[in-house]
Amino acid sequence: MVCDACKQQQATVHLTEIVNGQMTELHLCETCANQKGAQVESHFGLADLLAGLADFSKGQDVEPESSSKSCANCGMSYDDFRKVGRLGCSECYGTFRRSLSGLLKRIHGSTHHMGKTPSRLVKPSRAKSELAELKRRLERSIEIEEFEQAARLRDQIREIEREQRAKNKKTDK
């Protein structure tokens, strides 16, 4: 597909916006997309999406006092956020926590940021967390004098540590 702006290069950026049932598509090459960056952002803005979602949540799970609350740090109100689609500062998250929780849950599926782990680190971190959990359970078993359980946990820990050493030797070669 050819770029809608320059009509010369291949379009690699494809934007679609639906307003009042009208769909608008814009297909741009990378160069034109960079040049039109500010215009595209204002026309196809994430802030507009968030503002729309915030309006959608109006009357659902938004705390009534949130509309009158203002952030002590930047002075932004929840009504301002609904209009603009952006919070004023990091303190706004705490100020509007109750009102934002439903919105964040709809957007992200959770109200807690979990982050991402690079795929090459997923297995080692799982093994480390499993090992740490086993060590905590071992300590607890010793404290409450469940020595048979403690011995089983000790053996599991030794096996995991042995496997980790073997893997590390393979990757060092």
Q: What confidence tier does 26 reach under pLDDT thresholds 50, 70, 90?
A: confident
Indicate the average pLDDT of the chain. 76
The DSSP line for 93-155 is HHHTHHHHHHHHHHHHSSSS------HHHHHHHHHHHHHHHHHHHHHHHHHTT-HHHHHHHHH
pLDDT digits (tens, 9 = 90+) for 120-144: 665 555 677 788 899 999 999 999 9
- At 28, the amino acid letter reads L
154, pLDDT greater than 80: yes
Q: Which of the two residues, 34 and 157, has the higher pLDDT score?
A: 157
User: What is the pLDDT at residue 62?
Assistant: 46
pLDDT 10s digits, 73-120: 999 988 888 777 778 898 888 888 888 877 777 766 676 666 676 666
The count of residues in the chain is 173
What pTM, to 2 d.p., does this model score?
Answer: 0.35
